[in-house]
């Protein structure tokens, strides 16, 4: 086994991407990110490498002249746990189904973090920060994946556990079908929605192609998620490249902001039609003509994704139930558009959003985990 490490190397970076594509080839549940976008994360111009305080090393496993796996060891200068302890991370992990290979990769990557970077706490998987790809899927491999969902080989969690990692935090996704069932789930929040309207709260859909609307969404999202585990600064340019571009591409129809009676941003909600079938197992992004057809109507997607709901710290302290009112509002939009199926995406184990779903959370179909190693 030959483990090669590097910072920047065009040929090896291309090998990272080629191995990923080969590993998931034929997997009908893999929603690919285009190879050029993937490779762009391994060039000196990428934002992570230019930020002072960040350190990095990529590791490539070779066996019998062929790639057998890869991983990146990363130090984000802004990444801390809730006690303020600096955290290193392992990201971009892919490997053949062989624990010996995985152990070699993880061993060298963690050694670099611990001995050379003095990191005593390591999270995995985290690609740069929590705004990019992170978490392993640990349950739900037979379910139809959606764009943005953590997805990996089912043996990865076992590899990390055997190496010494333990689960730090979990998230769940829940899918429900049938309009009657969806209406029943939100009926109890109708009075709260009406009360906020009577108090002069404003629920407004935004135009995802309008820069000032995206800036407002970015502002309220960052403030709402400021206490989230591992939250780091999210510059608008990064936000626009990640979430903004996706919403624009697929003409997201259910993105809303809430303003309090004096006009302050109080909450937000993001949902969109699930166009993952159009991206599944693609090696390049949809052509412009395909993008237009995706946004042409509900028939292009068979379910909607409720992706994010959040309220500012000030609004949470008021205990007005703005989050549940937004939940009702956005669900009404989805039902009015004719959707029969809804997926409640990636709800944290300590999220207040779990109370919105009530007993439904007992029957989640998918679970994801962030792992931690202490040295």
Q: Where in the chain is the domain with CATH 3.40.630.30?
A: 2-171
Residue-level pLDDT at 171 = 97
Strand partners, 91: 72
Share of the chain above pLDDT 70, in %: 93
Which residues neighbour 325 within 8 Å (Cβ) at sequence distance 6 or greater?
189, 192, 193, 195, 196, 201, 203, 258
Where is average pLDDT lowest: 97-101, 122-126, 148-152, 352-356?
A: 352-356
In this structure, CATH architecture of domain 179-339: 3-Layer(aba) Sandwich (3.40)
DSSP 130: T
Which region among 18-22, 274-278, 302-306 has the lowest average model confidence (pLDDT)? 274-278
Q: What is the mean pLDDT of the chain?
A: 90
How are beta strands 341-348 and 304-311 bridged, if at all?
parallel
What is the sign of the dihedral through the CA atoms of 280, 247, 135 and 141?
Answer: negative
* CA pair distance 45, 17, nearest whole angstrom: 18
Domain 2-171: what homologous superfamily? Gcn5-related N-acetyltransferase (GNAT) (3.40.630.30)
Task: Note the pLDDT tens digit of each residue in 27-82.
Answer: 989 887 778 889 999 999 999 999 999 999 999 999 998 999 999 999 999 999 99
Q: Within 10 A of 1 (CB to CB), how many other CB atoms are there?
A: 14
Cα(342)–Cα(364) distance, integer angstroms = 13
What was the pLDDT predicted at 69? 97
User: Which of 323, 208, 197, 305 minimizes the C-alpha distance to 255?
Assistant: 208
For residues 110-149, one letter each, b for 16 or more C-beta atoms within 10 angstroms of the residue's C-beta and e for the rest, the string is bebbbeebebebbbbbbbbbbbebbbbbbbbeeebbbbbb
Is a pLDDT exceeding 70 seen at residue 271? yes
């Amino acid at each position: 086994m030959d483990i090669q490490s590097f910072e920047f190397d065009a040929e090896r970076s291309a090998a990272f991407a080629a191995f990923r594509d080969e590993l998931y080839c034929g997997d009908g549940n893999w929603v690919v990110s285009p190879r050029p976008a993937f490779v762009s994360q391994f060039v000196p111009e990428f934002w992570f490498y230019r930020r002072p305080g960040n350190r990095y090393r990529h590791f490539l496993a070779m066996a019998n002249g062929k790639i057998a796996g890869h991983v990146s060891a990363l130090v984000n200068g802004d990444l801390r746990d809730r006690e303020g302890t600096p955290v290193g991370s392992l990201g971009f992990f892919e490997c053949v189904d062989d624990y010996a290979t995985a152990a070699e990769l993880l061993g060298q990557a963690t050694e670099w973090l611990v001995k050379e970077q003095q990191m005593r706490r390591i999270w995995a998987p985290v690609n740069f920060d929590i705004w990019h790809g992170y978490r392993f899927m640990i349950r739900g491999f037979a379910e139809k994946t959606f764009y943005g969902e953590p997805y990996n080989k089912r043996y990865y969690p076992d590899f990390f556990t055997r190496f010494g990692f333990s689960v730090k935090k979990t998230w769940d996704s829940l899918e429900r079908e049938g309009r009657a069932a969806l209406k029943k789930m939100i009926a109890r929040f109708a009075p709260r929605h009406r009360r906020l309207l009577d108090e002069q709260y404003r629920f407004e859909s935004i135009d995802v192609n309008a820069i000032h609307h995206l800036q407002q969404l970015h502002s309220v999202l960052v403030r709402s998620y400021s206490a989230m585990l591992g939250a780091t600064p999210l510059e608008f340019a990064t936000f626009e490249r990640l979430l903004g571009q996706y919403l624009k591409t697929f003409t997201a129809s259910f993105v809303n902001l809430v303003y309090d009676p004096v006009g302050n941003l109080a909450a937000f909600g993001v949902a969109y039609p699930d166009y993952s079938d159009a991206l599944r197992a693609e090696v390049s992004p949809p052509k412009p003509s395909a993008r237009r057809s995706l946004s042409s109507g509900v028939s292009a997607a068979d379910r909607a994704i409720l992706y994010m709901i959040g309220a500012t710290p000030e609004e949470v302290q008021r205990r007005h139930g703005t989050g549940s009112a937004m939940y009702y509002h956005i669900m009404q939009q989805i039902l009015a558009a004719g959707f029969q199926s809804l997926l409640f995406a990636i709800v944290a184990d300590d999220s207040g959003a779990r109370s919105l779903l009530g007993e439904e959370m007992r029957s989640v179909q998918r679970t994801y985990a962030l792992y931690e190693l202490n040295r």
